[in-house]
A and B are shown apart, each in its own frame.
Chain A
Amino acid sequence: MADALVYLYAVTDADAAEPAAPGGVDDAPVRRVVAGALAAVVSSVDAVRFGEEALQRSLEDLQWLERAARAHHEVVAAAAESGPVAPVRLATVYHDDQSVRALLHERAADFRAALDRVRGRVEWGVKAFAAPTADDTADAGAAPGSGDGSARPGTSYLLRRRAERDRAGTRLEAATAAAEALHRELTDLAVANRRYEPQDPRLSGHREPMVLNAAYLVDEVGGDALRELVATRADGPLQLELTGPWAPYSFAALEDS
Chain B
Amino acid sequence: MTLAADREVALVDLLDRLLAGGVVISGDITISLADVDLVHVSLRALISSVSTLVEP
Residues of A within 8 A of B (CB): 5, 8, 11, 50-52, 55-56, 59-60, 62, 65-66, 69-70, 72-73, 86-95, 99, 103, 107, 111, 114, 125, 127, 194, 196, 199-200, 202-205, 213, 215, 230-231, 234, 240-244, 246, 249-254, 257
Contact = CB atoms under 8 A, between A and B. Distances in A.
A80 to B, nearest CB: 13
Contacts of A51: 29
A90 B12 contact: no
Nearest to A204: B12
B54 A246 contact: no
Nearest to B39: A59
Given A52-B30, A203-B43, A90 B22 contact: yes
Contacts of A251: 21
A8 B27 contact: yes
Given A69-B11, A202-B47, A215-B21, 8 more contacts: A89-B21, A89-B25, A91-B27, A91-B31, A93-B27, A99-B28, A250-B17, A254-B24
B12 to A, nearest CB: 4
A134 to B, nearest CB: 19
Nearest to B52: A66
Interface string B3-20: 110000111111111111
A88 B17 contact: no
A199 B16 contact: yes
A111 B35 CA distance: 26
Contacts of A69: 11, 14-15, 18
B17 A246 contact: yes
Nearest to B41: A60
A181 B20 CA distance: 25
Given A242-B3, A242-B4, A199 B12 contact: yes
Given A11-B23, A69-B18, A99-B28, A243 B13 contact: yes
Nearest to A65: B39
Contact of A89 (B16, B22, B28, B55): B22
A62 B50 contact: yes
Contacts of B54: 202-205
B22 A252 contact: yes
Contact of B44 (A66, A73, A196, A200): A200
B29 A94 contact: yes
